[in-house]
Structure 1
Amino acid sequence: MSHSSRRLAPVGVLLLLALAGCAAPPAPSASTAAPESDAHGRIDGAAEVAEPALGLTSIDAGGRVSHLDLLDETTAELGVVRAPAAVHSDGRYLFSADDDGVSIVDSGVWTWDHVDHFHYYRAPARVLDEVAGEGVATIATSNSSTSGGTGVFFPGSGEAVLLDTEALSKGEVVEKFRMTTTAGAGLVAPVGSFAAVAAGGEVSLRAADGAPLGPTTPCIDPAGTITTRVGAVIGCRDGAVLASVEGDQPVVEVVPYPPGTTAPRATAFHNREGRPRVAALAGDVGIWILDTRARTWTLLPAPEPLVQVTAVDDKTANVLALSAGGRALTLDGDSGAVRAASVPLVSESLAAGLPVTLVADQQRAYLNGPAEGRLWEIDFVDGARIAREFTPERSPLFFAETGR
């Protein structure tokens, strides 16, 4: 598949990248690579544990935040945020957005990826401060919860904000920059020590202080972003922009859709955290698979109407999907064929238009049913079997798997 690229290496960029320290920790060959941190993701007050401290952190319709520990199945109440309209998570923090800004929750559990091994941490969970803005923000995170940046874009004002993720890990909300762009659709994708800001029909690279770093790249109607081991994906009308770091130089590449494509574009990307392949719905037509390592798009047929897809990107190329009828499906990532299916689980929530999320890790998938008042753990390899079912005290309008 064709793609184009451009290297940008102003002196200021090289200096910033040299001083940046540890960014999202990818594979040695990945273009987001950065100098190793001796801390290995550790922060003051955190305890390193022997296994991932996995949990399901949820927010109900009234903004009450709860954390279900998946190891001992106990539940803790973490506090209250404003009623959420959308929630994004990086596996540690939950960013709860409404018309007036973003409330930030620290689940207190996270994994630091050192490529060939991992470090697992637990610290006190807490509700942090808020980031004010106009309109329900789009949030973009990296693969590190203790370094780099977190992007926030407010569509009402066109304000693009880059938060300091290292400061977040210490309980502080610090803005590296806040700049005004064009109101409407947009996003801020953190990449290493800089950020890619998509707004006004283009993507511009920015230093940590917001200074421009070179020519812009066209991107009409930006929608959807995700970070893989390779770099940050930004969905555009004609394909994707992939922003990354190779050595000490920022690189922007355009990965266009295949020639002659008539399928609807991708507008939301999902995967098992950090993996190079991501999945997105192609409207009602099929499933887009974007391989950020190969810089290729593949269109798979949808076996039935779907509302969400996520790429597990494991040895058997599993793709998970949520059907319009509320079933969790395990699909063949090479053909789109159904390998396994659960019974209908969230049909009531989907019929009511409530937000339902299907999250995948290496071994399990998790699903919330706001109308059903349930959370499910699904063994997607073993016939989409329901491994555990939880009935939380408060119905989970939004949730995230945390600690991964």
Structure 2
Amino acid sequence: MTPRLPYRPATAVAVAGLLATACGGGDSRPSSAAEKPHGYVAGAEEASEAQWRLVLAGDDRVRLLDPATEKVTDVAAAPGVTGVRSDGRFAYLTTSAGMRTVDSGVWTVDHGDHVHYYKAAVRDVGTVPGTPGAITGDQAVTAVSGGPAVRVLDRKALEGGKIPAARGIPGRAAVAYAEHLVIAADDGTVRVHDRQGAETARLTEPCPQARGQAVTKRGAVLGCADGALLVTGKDGRLTGTKIAYPGRVRAAERATEFHHRPGTPVLAAKAGDRGLWILNLAAKSWNRAGSAPLTAVSGTGEDAPVLALDTGGTLRSYDPKTGKQGDKTNILKKPNAASVIQVDTARAYVNDPAGRRVVEIDYRDGLRVARTFDLAFSPQHMVETGW
């Protein structure tokens, strides 16, 4: 590994420190049994900044890489992994037996006017039965969509190290948003459910052939055959606004899976095998960018570049407002279809299975390679946690 300290913006660290002080300090342990500071979580330590971790699956094991310390922690044997997703704290590894669930031990709680960052012990929780799929979640539930029904998992049970029984709700795509579950059904109707699964309302705007979902600070998104449905809430009531595609789009070129820095309102999606879509929620607009087949894409922020990794191993940046291409750099000598782009507030990470390494990119500095993490195994699958 190259001996370079990770970039941490001074302003972000200072603000995080002030928030931690205002919410009870960097140590979340109470001074007595009767005194529990604001933000206290049993068994966890409160930190002054986000605790990012990269969950890596490869060579039949799952491991965690801490970019701040460059330490790799072996978690458990994990044969047959074909993918991995996260709800911010837990990593869900796709296997033939179901979703192998790993508690990465790092997460963020956003209270709106301040944020808490936590770290705890890493542990292998077990396997959630059923077909794995797309993941969204909040502090109460995690929604797994992708089959004939959305499965809802109790986060408290997972946090306690137990695999909960999943509740099933008919639907193809779902988001956990504003203390509700928003679920698009096969017939295109979009229903609002409470966290126990009971239907409480229906949105007037439909979402036909729903595929793809995301949650941002500007609202939740469902991908539809005719564009994207932006769901927002006010006074406890949710409404949907359609952001239509700019003209006719073939089914093979639809955006069906969104990628972005968690919470941010610029989403990226592959446009079939020709370029990518950029969905800007602030402008409520789509841009089509590039024309090459891509391996991975991701938005990095409202005023930061959209990233795309092509099948030749070249990473490119695009303007989030215009779709115009900016910088480019070749980062993979032997491209791999399993490579992904994971983004946090300062860096982007690309797993390089053939090179047995993870590449760290400073996406605000001309796609500069900041570090490479050389590994003793092949990181076939990767997801970032701590958000």
Name the TM tier (shorter chain): 0.7 to 0.9
Q: Does 1:313 align with 2:305?
A: no
Question: Amino acid of the residue matched to residue 349 of structure 2?
Answer: Y
| Alignment correspondent of 1:274 | 263
Question: Which of 231, 250, 255 is the equivalent residue of 2:238?
Answer: 250
CA distance in 2, matches of 1:398, 1:268: 17
In structure 2, relative to structure 1, the CA distance for the partners of 1:371 and 1:165 (3 Å cut) is same
CA distance in 2, matches of 1:348, 1:274: 29
Q: Deviations over 1:81-107 (max 9, x none)?
A: 452222111332111123432121111
The structural deviation recorded for 1:46 is 0.3
Give the alignment of 1:4-403 within 5 angstroms.
42-62=40-60, 64-133=61-130, 135=131, 137-142=132-137, 144=138, 147-153=139-145, 155=147, 158-175=148-165, 177-179=167-169, 181=170, 186-202=172-188, 203-215=190-202, 218-260=206-248, 264-294=253-283, 296-302=284-290, 304-315=292-303, 317-345=304-332, 347-350=334-337, 355-403=338-386
CA distance in 1, matches of 2:343, 2:321: 18
Contact 1:176/1:208 (<8 A) preserved: no
Contact 1:161/1:175 (<8 A) preserved: no
In structure 2, relative to structure 1, the CA distance for the partners of 1:197 and 1:318 (3 Å cut) is same
Question: Amino acid of the residue matched to residue 325 of structure 2?
Answer: V
Gaps of 5+ in 1: 1-37
Question: Amino acid of the residue matched to residue 74 of structure 1?
Answer: K
Q: CA RMSD in A?
A: 2.6
In structure 2, relative to structure 1, the CA distance for the partners of 1:348 and 1:123 (3 Å cut) is same
Question: Amino acid of the residue matched to residue 123 of structure 1?
Answer: A
In structure 2, relative to structure 1, the CA distance for the partners of 1:215 and 1:48 (3 Å cut) is closer
CA distance in 2, matches of 1:319, 1:168: 33
Question: Amino acid of the residue matched to residue 144 of structure 2?
Answer: V
Q: 4+ residue stretches of structure 1 with deviation over 6 A?
A: none
Contact 2:43/2:120 (<8 A) preserved: yes
The structural deviation recorded for 1:280 is 1.4
Q: Percent of pairs identical after alignment? A: 34
CA distance in 2, matches of 1:253, 1:40: 37
TM-score normalised over the length of structure 1: 0.78
CA distance in 2, matches of 1:305, 1:40: 49
CA distance in 2, matches of 1:90, 1:267: 18
Question: Amino acid of the residue matched to residue 54 of structure 1?
Answer: W
CA distance in 2, matches of 1:40, 1:287: 43
Question: Amino acid of the residue matched to residue 91 of structure 2?
Answer: L
In structure 2, relative to structure 1, the CA distance for the partners of 1:210 and 1:39 (3 Å cut) is farther
Question: Amino acid of the residue matched to residue 221 of structure 1?
Answer: Q
The structural deviation recorded for 1:229 is 1.1
The structural deviation recorded for 1:42 is 4.5
The structural deviation recorded for 1:391 is 1.8
CA distance in 2, matches of 1:289, 1:154: 23
TM-score normalised over the length of structure 2: 0.81
Question: Amino acid of the residue matched to residue 67 of structure 2?
Answer: L
The structural deviation recorded for 1:167 is 3.3
